[in-house]
């Protein structure tokens, strides 16, 4: 009888237990600060800086340095993109630390090699390194600590840290590619000629060359300090040593030795841009993104489109909601694929028209409510750009949907084997989120130089693979054609939102072309469906593959739709009737990290994704 009573109590209490634990990871609560990134050790680095009195920018820079040292889908030779909310000015600032194509990188150069796009890996995939410059600039302009203090966790890790399971296995999986590059082979393959040549999980992974490079940067800062320079100027002395001094010389020598194109002049003339981001409003919430040198405005365009319908009334992940979201995303991504490119390089992109609410209404009139439209193409934003503005690429626009995407030559097996289509779509990055009680907010999506990375000489620095995001034919995107000194249109896309003039949400995700799809849904999960930050991060998303991939072979798969395994049968059937080809996965949200601002209670609600090793610490 007692056993039956106990069982009855347990069953009656089960709904309460389930309600108390609705997510696989808990919300990260903080009152003073929150630090979130792609790896536990990276978040610990941010936590250490906060505990020493640093602000959110200091902590974010420490996490950036740590994750770059850990090869968390990036390295020191990659690129950094950031949004920073400055509580003193109450403004959002954009940091553009994306590298540029080097001298000699032209469409003709790669076409002569029989390539439809720049390669996915190796020295010819590299743009100039941007992460060091981005870190130095953020720290000098908005931080409070020295470079020596902020780099201390990364330097300790370079001296030796326990390799996590995922990266150890990534190195082993890619060892055939790594063996092509002598400096990478020396560092990554710690057990040469053994069955497992890469590091074992938990093995202390030592990077002597990288440690030496980091010590040189700190030495440059300290020398400038002793010469009477202030904190900012001393940090920029380290910048000069990386881009113009002996570190630059060894980087260039090592890159060119392996067939790369980067020159000393390329490094010297490259610079970080501090920018004004772009913004739209959604139901009174200001949403900020970096401008069209990344795909960030896609999210803003999608929000403008979706303001024309009642999403909440449709119901979360109903057939109507999924179909509406899919069509809106594809409209926005079609514009990305044609109009986005480097704003510092002609021709000038029509960003004002693209973000116009009137343009969104005009575009929405073409939405097919009954079936998927596999032929959604770019619109014409020029009538909304300004009086008398005309589209200079009308002929290309009219034929854009008819042009078949380039395929690799049948005998170019190296290109076909470099990256699978699925790997290309989700190719990684990491994300960094940091906030503090003074009001600083930092959202970063650094990337580039991921495993398998080609390391440039004895610097220990892996080169970027971002050149593959260019096109070689203006018929595909007249704004993103490869040219020396030009930035490729990247997928990397941090996000910040303000409400009533105060920070509301800081969020970012890894995952290539899926990023702004996942971030759009994360935002809507909170704003439309009342989820908390962690619920929104773990919630079932959808993913479209209809846009043109930014990686590998730049393929498009119209109508392909990724759904969560738990999608009801009636929803699956209804979507197939609308013309979708369905795939399913147990996790579809991507590794979303974010921070929600609870102004009523004066606290932060952080989310670290349940997909991967993402981790956060709050206090």
* Of 17-31, 45-59, 164-178, the least confident: 17-31
The C-alpha atoms of residue 539 and residue 566 are separated, in whole angstroms, by 11
- Is pLDDT at 264 greater than 70 in this prediction? yes
Give 319's contacts (C-beta < 8 A, 6+ positions apart): 570, 571, 574, 575, 578
The C-alpha atoms of residue 375 and residue 373 are separated, in whole angstroms, by 5
Give the burial string for 425-445 (b: 16+ CB within 10 Å, else e). bbbbbbbbbbbbbebbbbbbb
Q: Give the model's pLDDT for residue 511.
A: 82
The C-alpha atoms of residue 183 and residue 46 are separated, in whole angstroms, by 30
Q: Give the model's pLDDT for residue 299.
A: 98
Strand partners, 441: 85, 435
Q: What average pLDDT does the segment 211-226 reach?
A: 98
Helical residues (DSSP H) of 286-430, grouped into ranges = 297-306, 311-314, 319-339, 351-354, 357-364, 394-399, 413-418, 421-426
Instruction: Note the pTM of the prediction, 2 decimals.
Output: 0.93
Three-state DSSP state, 384: helix
- Is pLDDT at 31 greater than 90 in this prediction? yes
Q: Residues 276, 94: contact at Cβ < 8 Å?
A: yes
Listed by start position, the domains of the chain span 278-399
- Is pLDDT at 476 greater than 90 in this prediction? yes
The helix (run of H) or strand (run of E) holding residue 231 is: helix 231-244
The C-alpha atoms of residue 276 and residue 290 are separated, in whole angstroms, by 8
Q: What average pLDDT does the segment 266-289 reach?
A: 98
Confidence of residue 122 (pLDDT cuts 50, 70, 90): very high
Confidence of residue 546 (pLDDT cuts 50, 70, 90): very high
Q: At the top level of CATH, which class does the domain 278-399 belong to?
A: mainly alpha
Q: Residues 23, 535: contact at Cβ < 8 Å?
A: yes
Digit-coded pLDDT (tens) for 331-351: 999 999 999 999 999 999 999
The mean of the pLDDT values for the chain is: 92
Q: Give the model's pLDDT for residue 418.
A: 46
- How many H-runs (helices) and E-runs (strands) does the chain carry? 24, 19
Confidence of residue 428 (pLDDT cuts 50, 70, 90): low
Digit-coded pLDDT (tens) for 486-499: 999 999 999 999 99
Give 258's contacts (C-beta < 8 A, 6+ positions apart): 122, 123, 181, 182, 183, 454, 456
Digit-coded pLDDT (tens) for 288-346: 999 999 999 999 999 999 999 999 999 999 999 999 999 999 999 999 999 999 999 99
């Amino acid at each position: 009888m007692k056993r039956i009573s106990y069982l009855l109590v347990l069953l009656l209490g089960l709904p309460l237990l389930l309600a108390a634990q609705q997510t696989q990871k808990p919300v990260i609560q903080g009152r003073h600060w929150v630090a979130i990134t792609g790896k536990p050790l990276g978040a610990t680095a941010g936590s250490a800086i906060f505990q020493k009195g640093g602000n959110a920018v200091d902590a974010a820079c420490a996490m950036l340095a740590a994750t770059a040292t850990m090869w968390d889908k990036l390295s020191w030779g990659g690129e950094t993109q950031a949004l920073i909310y400055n509580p003193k000015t109450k403004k959002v600032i954009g940091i553009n630390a994306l590298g540029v194509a080097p001298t000699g990188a032209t469409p003709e150069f790669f076409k002569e090699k029989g390539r439809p796009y720049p390669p996915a890996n190796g020295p010819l995939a590299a743009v100039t390194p941007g992460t060091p410059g981005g870190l130095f600039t953020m720290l000098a302009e908005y931080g409070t600590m020295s470079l020596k203090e902020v780099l201390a966790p990364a330097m300790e890790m370079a001296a030796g840290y326990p390799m996590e399971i995922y990266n150890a296995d990534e190195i082993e999986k890619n060892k055939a590619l790594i063996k092509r590059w002598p400096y990478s082979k020396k560092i990554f393959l710690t057990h040469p000629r053994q069955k497992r040549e890469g590091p074992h999980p938990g093995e202390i992974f030592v990077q002597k060359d990288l440690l030496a490079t980091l010590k040189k940067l700190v030495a440059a800062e300290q020398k400038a300090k002793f010469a009477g320079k202030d904190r900012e100027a001393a940090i920029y002395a380290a910048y000069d040593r990386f881009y113009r001094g002996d570190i630059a010389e060894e980087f260039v020598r090592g890159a060119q030795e392996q067939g790369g194109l980067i020159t000393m002049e390329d490094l010297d003339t490259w610079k970080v841009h501090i920018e004004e981001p772009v913004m739209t409003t959604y139901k009174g919430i200001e949403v900020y993104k970096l401008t069209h040198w990344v795909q960030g405005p896609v999210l803003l365009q999608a929000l403008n489109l979706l303001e024309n319908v009642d999403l909440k009334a449709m119901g979360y992940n109903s057939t109507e909601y999924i179909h509406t979201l899919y069509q809106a995303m594809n409209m926005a991504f079609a514009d990305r694929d044609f109009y986005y490119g480097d704003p510092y390089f002609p021709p000038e992109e029509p960003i004002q028209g693209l973000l116009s609410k009137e343009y969104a209404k005009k575009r929405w009139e073409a939405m097919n409510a009954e079936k998927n439209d596999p032929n959604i193409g770019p619109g014409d934003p020029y009538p909304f750009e300004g009086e008398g503005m005309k589209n200079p690429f009308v002929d290309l626009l009219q034929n854009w949907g008819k042009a078949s995407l380039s395929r690799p030559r049948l005998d170019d097996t190296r290109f076909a084997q470099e990256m699978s289509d699925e790997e290309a779509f989700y190719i990684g990055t990491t994300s960094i989120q940091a906030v503090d009680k003074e009001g600083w907010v930092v959202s970063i999506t650094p990337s580039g130089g991921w495993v398998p990375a080609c390391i440039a000489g004895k610097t220990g620095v892996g080169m970027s693979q971002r050149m593959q995001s260019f096109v070689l034919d203006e018929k595909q995107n007249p704004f993103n054609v490869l040219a020396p000194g030009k930035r490729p249109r990247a997928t990397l896309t941090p996000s910040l939102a303000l409400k009533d003039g105060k920070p509301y949400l800081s969020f970012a995700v890894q995952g290539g072309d899926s990023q702004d799809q996942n971030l759009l849904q994360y935002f809507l999960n909170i704003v439309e469906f009342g989820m908390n930050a962690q619920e929104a991060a773990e919630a079932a998303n959808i993913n479209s593959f209809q846009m043109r991939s930014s990686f590998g072979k730049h393929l498009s798969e119209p109508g392909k739709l990724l759904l969560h395994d738990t999608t009801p049968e009636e929803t699956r059937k209804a979507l197939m009737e609308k013309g979708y080809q369905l795939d399913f996965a147990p996790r579809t949200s991507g590794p979303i990290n974010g921070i929600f601002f609870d102004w009523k209670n004066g606290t932060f609600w952080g989310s670290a994704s349940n997909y991967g090793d993402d981790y956060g610490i709050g206090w």
